[in-house]
């Protein structure tokens, strides 16, 4: 078996490696208060999606009308963990798609070069 991005098995293997690398970087720090910079960058899509999804999950309002305090529920934690997992899956999918596009571009460029000769 040749290792080439033109081979689907190679692209899938690279995507699996990307998945495990991202998993190893993010999972140990999911419950940290202060995240390392690389984890913060990798979880950036989660923060954006969290703001969007968080509006649809009801929050318990405690406190007085003058000083309201909103309390998160276990549903919020489950939604956050689901978003983090989807974020971890995002990177291997993007790696596979970008390798596929690169493979097509290289094949097309090689065929143009072959046709012009």
**What tens digit of pLDDT does each residue of 59-87 get?**
767 777 777 776 777 887 888 888 889 99
pTM over 0.85, yes/no: no
Q: What is the 3-state secondary structure (H, E, C) of the chain?
A: CCCCCCCHHHHHHHHHHHHHHHHHHHHHHCCCCCCCHHHHHHCHHHHHHHHHHHCCCCCEEEECCCCEEEECCHHHHHHHHHHHHHHHHHHHHHHHHHHHHHHHHHHHHHHHHHHHC
């Amino acid at each position: 078996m040749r290792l080439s991005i033109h081979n689907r098995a190679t692209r899938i293997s690279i995507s699996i490696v990307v998945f495990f690398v991202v998993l190893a970087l993010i999972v140990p720090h999911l419950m940290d208060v202060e995240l390392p910079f690389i984890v913060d960058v990798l979880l950036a899509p989660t923060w954006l999606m969290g703001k969007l999804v968080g509006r649809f999950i009801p929050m318990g309002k405690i406190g007085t009308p003058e000083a309201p305090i909103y309390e998160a529920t276990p549903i919020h934690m489950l939604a956050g963990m689901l978003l983090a997992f989807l974020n971890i899956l995002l990177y291997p999918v993007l790696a596979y798609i970008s390798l596929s596009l690169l493979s097509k571009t290289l094949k097309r460029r090689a065929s143009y070069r072959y046709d012009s000769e």
